[in-house]
Amino acid sequence: MTDISATPRRPVVPTMSGLARLKRLLGSSPRRLNLALQGGGAHGAFTWGVLDALLEDPGLVFEGLSGSSAGAMNAVMFADGWAKGGRDGARQGLSDFWTEVGKQMPWGMTTHGQGEAISLSPASKLLASWAGYFSPSQLNPLDLNPLRDLLNRQVDFERLREASPFKLFIGTTQANTGKLRVFRETELTVDVLLASACLPKIHHPVEIDGEPHWDGGYAANPAVFPLFYDCESRDILLVLLSPLQREGRLNTVEEIEERIVELAFSANFMREMRMFAQATEFSNPTFLTWGRLERRLQKMRFHMIDSNQVPSLQRSETKVLAYGPFLTLLRAQGRERATDWLSAQSAEVGQRSTVDMKKWFT
């Protein structure tokens, strides 16, 4: 038998990445993350899968969650479930919510293919095109919203207002002014959550404090600055549903219209991230300029799980495909993408940024 202890070994000099992984293996202090969760209708089930995988890693702890639209739904389900049952409760809460959402679409509104072949039926597409000619007050004069009933059944809003396990930042858009309003966990109500996901061509505006509110994605998708200013953790994980880059030319009217909608919901986020990238570069430390803001900017670390090369998220029409099998597919794809990130980059949390800010945002 070979005596392994007698075998000469070359000295190993760990890199920063190696040191980070070594600390993780030795049970170093938990890695704290803030989560910035994009909205995107039914595509939010991809984020469900991402969060489900993150919750399986006991070395990750969370401080703040910011979200708009479906991102806000995921943030609140995450917090409400955690308040009821810790990590397992958060996973169950997300599963319960998306499972119920997947039951909302009537039979016959989808094609019954498998995997990527699942799509809206021709009848659904026709109805969607007709709906564009009517206001919500004409299409839905009684303001019926099954989502309100689902949220009231599942979420203990009073408990979250009094003792949320995380800092929550829920974005809405004030319809009359176009201003972003960010609601904290202490202000959370079912109306706040519905306002954050209020698409004005489908739903009546949600009135809060006498002001009509629309989907938060118009003003911030999601808002990143609250995680910068109001959280102690310097690591922010961006979970993105809108592709950062499209390939090829846009030739058809439908493709052009879909891209216009995408840009409308991502422009403010891209502008905010450009600001962070440029401000960090501008704040190079010197004796005369090294103030509180510069110190914080230099300590910021961004990470990202994006939707590039995920075929299911490349079709804008499927944002309304609240169909169980499709949501389950997105969950699986989100889990796979998050598992890859955990394996390749999560050890860098607390060490360095893993996003090339200049490449993606400037």
Cβ-contact 331, 98 below 8 angstroms: yes
Select the more confidently predicted residue: 116 or 244: 244
CA-CA distance, 71 to 170, in Å (whole number)? 9
Amino acid letter for position 217: G
CA-CA distance, 45 to 23, in Å (whole number)? 33
Flag the least confident range among 262-266, 281-285, 298-302.
281-285
Cβ-contact 165, 79 below 8 angstroms: yes
The burial class, CB within 10 Å (0-12 / 13-18 / 19+), for 147 is: middle
Whole-number average pLDDT of the chain: 83
* CA distances, 332 to each of 41, 67, 69, 117, 343 (Å): 17, 21, 21, 16, 17
Flag the least confident range among 1-15, 171-185, 233-247, 276-290.
1-15
Per-residue tokens: 206: 């949600």
pLDDT in tens, 59-90: 999 999 999 999 999 999 999 999 999 999 99
Residue-level pLDDT at 118 = 58
Flag the least confident range among 45-54, 186-195, 287-296.
287-296
CA-CA distance, 24 to 18, in Å (whole number)? 10
Per-residue tokens: 134: 């009517």
* CA distances, 349 to each of 2, 60, 88, 202, 306 (Å): 40, 9, 23, 40, 17
pLDDT in tens, 104-121: 765 545 555 555 555 554
Per-residue tokens: 28: 């170093």
Select the more confidently predicted residue: 17 or 57: 57
pLDDT in tens, 5-56: 333 333 333 334 454 444 444 445 789 999 999 999 999 999 999 999 999 9
pTM for the complete prediction? Answer: 0.84
State the DSSP string of 313-357: GS-GGGGG---HHHHHHHHHHHHHHHHHHHHHTGGGTTT---S-H
